[in-house]
Amino acid sequence: MEKTLKWNAFPCEEPSWRLNISAPISVMQAFWQQCLESLKRLTQNTPKIYTTWFEVLKPTYWNEKDGILTLEAPATKITYIRGAYQKSISAVATRIHGSAVAVSLVPAQVKPVQREESGTSHPPSETEIKRREETGLLPGLTFENYVNGNANQLAVAAAEHVATTTGTQYNPLYIYGGVGLGKTHLMQAIGHRYLDLHPKARVRCVSAQDFINEYTSAVRESTNKTHASLEKFDERYRSLDLLLIDDVQSLSGAKGSQGQFFRAFEALVPHNKQLVITSDTYTRGLKDIEPRLISRLSQGLSVAIEPPEFEMRTAILLNKAKTMGVDLPDEVAAYIAKRLKSNVRELEGALQQVVAYQQFQATSSREITIDIAKRVLREQFQVVNSLITIENIQKTVADYYKIKVADMHSKRRPANIARPRQIAMYLTKELTQHSLPEIGENFGGRDHTTVMHAVRKITQERQNDAELNHEIHVLEQMIRG
């Protein structure tokens, strides 16, 4: 049975707060230190919770009279702390203060990584960069450069937790989602953070296809008299502190590589060595993978990354433009984000096209405008819109669930047909501008109330069924091309 992370242990509303004349820093620090000491005592049996989620908080405002406390939290941890611990922090602060304290959390500004050996901020050395590249980690794929939103907040919080408490919980961590949603970036961010905390650790980040290629080469180089290459390969993976495997679905059908991966799993996970895996589907959706391996992958924590919502897509574009040194107006980012919805790569590719176009313009006209975005991305927008037709949706859904397109129009109602038909109606309502009567007419002349029932039913069920939710996201990506 897969474990799914729960985030409503301490449900609470985020309190509002206003700026008044703040208390002196010494008073604020003294009060927060008391709160920390109390939180530390409460978590004495689980010290990792204190160091991971409480110790990182910094007080920025304390109004003793009105009982208002503002804490600064790392941007990658703030969502989880709000959901899981904000109410507890407020309760502790209230008890110490003697009257009600409203606690609010604000994201910290991104700062350079603190290096253990010097205690000061400085860019990584060439030696360090080279070492990280040798492990398979790519520069820039860090938590600091990862945009958070509702679509990935659970996965980000789990990744942050694993990076700081490797092997002790959520092992393996299984991250799944569609193409181009940031799974690889998040996995690599775990590796970078882990090496920040443990500079001498043995880390390896590799795609499943490269794992297969390495194993195949080792087998080829081995002979009947010596198995040195295989033994070397085996030792390389069994001796790691952290193993990151990308696109594990690529192991499908590769029985020898699956067996080797299973041996690596057994050498690492039972000994509290962390394993992180990414895939394009949930564990039970993996095809032609040994049952014993699927069972092992399912024993840890599985978290999904969904396609980004509008606000997150806009933030991704603005963040990418900033790293490129490009001034992208908010309204242009919003215009692009509203029209391109499938994945992060599509967004970044669109931005690259706009920027490249502008670089060839006269200096006086290099400002990026909505008109420029329309002109450069016109064909891409047209392709996206032209692909999304009722016929395309019906065929995609029918193929996915292995039924006939004719079943979309028939009056038959067995579950294996009725369910895909309802999903197709739901997707048509979500992805096209057709009215309910028009949709009903294209599904065998059904009444608009039938379509409305299907839309409501699937909307409700996908909120409570992670497997259905994932299937719909996959279908959305297939339909958008």
Angle, alpha carbons 461-463-466 (nearest 5°): 90
Could you give the residue ranges of the DSSP H alpha helices within 360-447? 370-387, 390-400, 415-431, 436-442
DSSP one-letter code for 51: I
Q: Is 226 annotated as a binding residue?
A: no
Tokens of 5: 């992370």
317's enclosing H/E stretch is helix 310-323
β pairing state of 203-207 and 173-177 = unpaired
**What residues have CB less than 8 Å from 423, skipping those under 6 apart?**
397, 401, 458, 471, 472, 475
Q: Which residues lie across from 188 on neighbouring strands?
A: none
Kindly tell me the burial class for residue 73, based on how many C-beta atoms sit within 10 Å of its own C-beta (0-12, 13-18, 19 or more): buried
Q: Which residues lie across from 204 on neighbouring strands?
A: 243
Q: Is 301 helix (H, G, I), strand (E, B) or coil?
A: strand
Q: Is 130 annotated as a binding residue?
A: no
Angle between helices 183-197 and 126-135 (to 10 degrees): 130
The one-letter amino acid code at 435 reads S
Q: Is 184 annotated as a binding residue?
A: yes
Q: Distance between CA atoms of 394 and 373, rounded to whole angstroms?
A: 31
Kindly tell me the burial class for residue 161, based on how many C-beta atoms sit within 10 Å of its own C-beta (0-12, 13-18, 19 or more): buried
Q: Distance between CA atoms of 162 and 156, rounded to whole angstroms?
A: 10
Q: Is 67 annotated as a binding residue?
A: no
Chain-centre distance of CA 317, in angstroms? Answer: 16
Tokens of 444: 């065998």
Q: Distance between CA atoms of 55 and 52, rounded to whole angstroms?
A: 7
Give the gyration radius of the chain's Cα atoms. Answer: 26
Residues placed in the known binding site = 180, 182-184
Residues placed in the known binding site for ATP = 180, 182-184
